[in-house]
A and B are shown apart, each in its own frame.
Chain A
Amino acid sequence: LAKTTQPISMDSYEGQEVNITCSHNNIATNDYITWYQQFPSQGPRFIIQGYKTKVKNEVASLFIPADRKSSTLSLPRVSLSDTAVYYCLVVAWSGYSTLTFGKGTMLLVSP
């Protein structure tokens, strides 16, 4: 099971781009990298998932280098409502693997 390491907390200001990096040195060939967002007292919400290179959706981008030992979640022009905990997870592509949430990164966006 690939272990992930990400910063405990990050601070930003409204309108800035935020990049949260996650390391996963022992990622396996069939593992995907997945990010979830969680607001206080709410269940986590899927943000984005990728395997290699770059993935982009309407809320975020995910950059994955060729060796896949790390990944960076990029949030463009954050707002106060982006203040949340962000979890980086590595999940198997197939089979019945489950999600292992670490401590996540607490992102605080200030005015």
Chain B
Amino acid sequence: DSGVTQTPKHLITATGQRVTLRCSPRSGDLSVYWYQQSLDQGLQFLIQYYNGEERAKGNILERFSAQQFPDLHSELNLSSLELGDSALYFCASSVDGGGNYEQYFGPGTRLTVT
């Protein structure tokens, strides 16, 4: 158990819909990262927050957005969903924002878009 929690575990929705994925970092960690893993694209970094502020952006689509709240939990919002958005979405946290800090990954949310 990494100490990072993600909800829900599974999510099935239809194209065009909007969903919200939630992540709670390990106690004491200030940085949260979101990743998308699909079979054809591998593990892709989406976005990073550090202590409530956006710190780095990766391959995140404009239909996707995220935020980190004062209690440090984070939410990833996916809208206008397409079939290709079906993937495993991982949240990770680290004590600080530097890439050299060990990241602890959550169990993931499996999103299926039908």
Contact = CB atoms under 8 A, between A and B. Distances in A.
Q: Determine if chain A interacts with chain B.
A: yes
A97 B107 contact: no
Interface of A, secondary structure class, is loop
Interface of B, secondary structure class, is strand
A100 B58 CA distance: 9
Q: Chain B interface residue count: which class?
A: 20 to 34
Contacts of A42: 105, 107-108
A24 to B, nearest CB: 14
Contacts, number: 70
A38 B103 CA distance: 13
Interface in B16-74: 33, 35, 42-45, 48, 50, 55-56, 58
Contact of A103 (B2, B42, B56, B103): B42
Contacts of B45: 98-101
Interface string B76-109: 0000000000001010100001111011111110
